């Protein structure tokens, strides 16, 4: 799937800054030790409890154990790789050779793997907390939702080494899906499809008791901000300003400190209202189009819980060109509100919703400033092409300017 593709990976970037605290130093050393030992003495995954370092450690026995456990006589006889890539995770597609019982039991013949093979991947995913995202999403959350998104087959993580492996649906093989990013102009109808999916997961988990029960591991945006502050978020974003200044409205460039204050306030406001499940990183590079025109979100590493507008604002301001957003955003926000109500959520007033939407446009701007800055720094995996980062920075910066988002937060 360019194996979910470098474009469809989560965009939160961390930077290990000196001086490091003792906890980070300890994890740095322990994870590094695990990576070295695994490289020196690689071991094959056989039991369902094993966590393969990469597809190179996967065996037919392990695939049988995790995919065929409830199907008598079913087994995976062999497999071949179908191509992959390396970014924030190492990604590889697999074509499975199944016996008759497995085929009759609907075991998938094509799967997609995501793992944290490399040291820099483990540091980024582990220190930011993203290592737990898909490991929790696929078994606990995805089965509850009738949305367009990859299905998960198995997910596991070794807490000590931050070694992780996720097996999921290969949507390119299963649905002839095409992954997109800012190079594709999103139509209003396509944006409505994405918002309809979003309304389903927001409505299903609206003020759900699960958020304080089995899903209490989901962080809020405020929790996440506190984590990435410790890992150099502001430093990276300020570096990104220098690289992206040409696409940022001059009026916004002079208000960076005010933007930082408004970001923290926007996350505090996000905590005050009803909470729901959030994708957490719904930029346009996370999306794909199926052969029959459906659109879905992939890469669920940064799942959170919080107010609905966090997802909606991020989705709209990253997906649409500046002109299209200006022309369509009010209608699209109303469309989302209607779909949210149809999906089990409340009937929200447009004026209050519009205010929340404006308040939540600030984080995507800083997130992508951080992305463009981090792409050339050591210890970080390869992330997004600069052209895509600049596109999204231009879109989010203009949204903040157009919508007077700082005033919406502080007013």
Instruction: Indicate if the pLDDT at residue 11 is higher than 50.
Output: no
pLDDT at 277: 98
Residue 153 shares a structural domain with residue 86: yes
CA 201 to chain centre: 15
Domain membership of residue 40 (yes or no) is yes
Residue 110 shares a structural domain with residue 18: yes
pLDDT at 384: 76
Q: Say how far apart CA 153 and CA 155 lie, in whole Å.
A: 7
Question: Domain limits at 33?
Answer: 6-175
Mean pLDDT along residues 385-401: 95
For the purposes of burial, counting CB atoms within 10 Å of the CB of 257, is it exposed (0-12), middle (13-18) or buried (19 or more)? exposed
* Between 6 and 83, residue with greater pLDDT: 83
pLDDT at 299: 92
Cβ neighbors of 60 (< 8 A, separation 6 or more) are 75, 76, 77, 78, 79
CATH code, domain with 120: 3.30.200.20
What strands lie across the sheet with 110-115, from one edge to the other?
A: 76-86, 90-98, 110-115, 163-169, 152-158
Q: What are phi and psi of 110, to 5 degrees?
A: -130, 130
Domain membership of residue 111 (yes or no) is yes
CATH code, domain with 273: 3.90.1200.10
pLDDT at 380: 57
Q: Say how far apart CA 272 and CA 259 lie, in whole Å.
A: 20
Residue 156 shares a structural domain with residue 207: no
The one-character DSSP state at 268 is H
User: Which range, 8-12, 92-96, 129-133, is most confident?
Assistant: 92-96
For residue 149, give the 3-state DSSP assignment. Answer: coil
Q: What does the pLDDT look like over 282-341, one tens digit per residue?
A: 999 999 999 999 999 999 999 999 999 999 999 999 999 999 999 999 999 999 999 999
Q: What does the pLDDT look like over 282-297, one tens digit per residue?
A: 999 999 999 999 999 9
Count up the domains in the chain and report the number: 2
User: Could you count the other beta carbons within 10 Å of the beta carbon of residue 350?
Assistant: 12
Domain membership of residue 1 (yes or no) is no
Give the chain's mean pLDDT.
91
Confidence of residue 350 (pLDDT cuts 50, 70, 90): very high
Q: What percent of the chain has pLDDT over 70?
A: 92
Q: Which of 322, 398, 397 is nearest to 367 (CA)?
A: 397
Residue 278 shares a structural domain with residue 383: yes
């Amino acid at each position: 799937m360019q194996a979910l593709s470098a474009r469809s990976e989560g965009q939160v970037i961390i930077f290990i800054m000196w001086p490091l605290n003792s906890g980070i130093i300890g994890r740095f050393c322990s994870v590094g030790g695990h990576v070295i030992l695994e490289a020196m003495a690689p071991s094959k995954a056989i039991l369902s409890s094993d966590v393969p370092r990469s597809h190179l450690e996967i065996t037919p026995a392990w695939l049988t154990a995790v995919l065929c456990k409830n199907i008598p006589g079913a087994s995976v006889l062999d497999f071949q790789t179908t191509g992959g890539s390396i970014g924030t995770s190492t990604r590889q597609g697999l074509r499975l050779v199944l016996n008759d019982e497995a085929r009759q039991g609907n075991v998938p013949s094509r799967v997609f793997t995501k793992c944290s093979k490399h040291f820099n991947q483990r540091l980024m995913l582990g220190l930011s907390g993203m290592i737990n995202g898909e490991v929790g999403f696929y078994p606990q959350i995805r089965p509850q939702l009738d949305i367009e998104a990859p299905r998960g087959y198995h997910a596991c993580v070794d807490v000590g080494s931050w070694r992780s492996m996720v097996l999921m649906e290969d949507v390119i093989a299963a649905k002839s899906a095409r992954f997109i990013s800012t190079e594709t102009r999103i139509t209003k109808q396509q944006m409505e499809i994405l918002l309809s999916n979003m309304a389903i997961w927001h409505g299903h988990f609206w003020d759900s008791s699960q958020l304080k029960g089995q899903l209490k591991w989901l962080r809020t945006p405020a929790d996440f901000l506190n984590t990435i502050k410790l890992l150099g978020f502001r430093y990276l974003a300020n570096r990104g300003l220098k690289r992206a200044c040409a696409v940022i409205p001059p009026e916004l460039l002079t208000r960076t400190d005010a933007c930082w204050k408004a970001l923290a306030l926007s996350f505090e406001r996000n905590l005050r209202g009803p909470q729901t499940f959030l994708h957490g990183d719904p930029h346009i590079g996370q999306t794909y189009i199926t052969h029959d025109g459906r659109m879905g979100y992939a890469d669920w590493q940064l799942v959170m819980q919080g107010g609905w507008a966090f997802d909606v604002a991020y989705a709209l301001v990253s997906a649409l060109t500046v002109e299209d957003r200006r022309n369509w955003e009010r209608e699209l926000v109303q469309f989302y509100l209607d779909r949210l109500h149809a999906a089990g959520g409340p009937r929200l007033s447009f004026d209050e919703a519009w205010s929340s939407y404006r308040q939540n446009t600030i984080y995507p701007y800083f997130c992508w400033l951080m992305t463009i800055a981090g792409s050339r720094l050591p210890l970080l995996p390869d992330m997004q092409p600069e052209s895509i980062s600049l596109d999204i920075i231009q879109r989010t910066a203009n949204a903040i300017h157009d919508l007077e988002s700082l005033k919406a937060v502080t007013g």
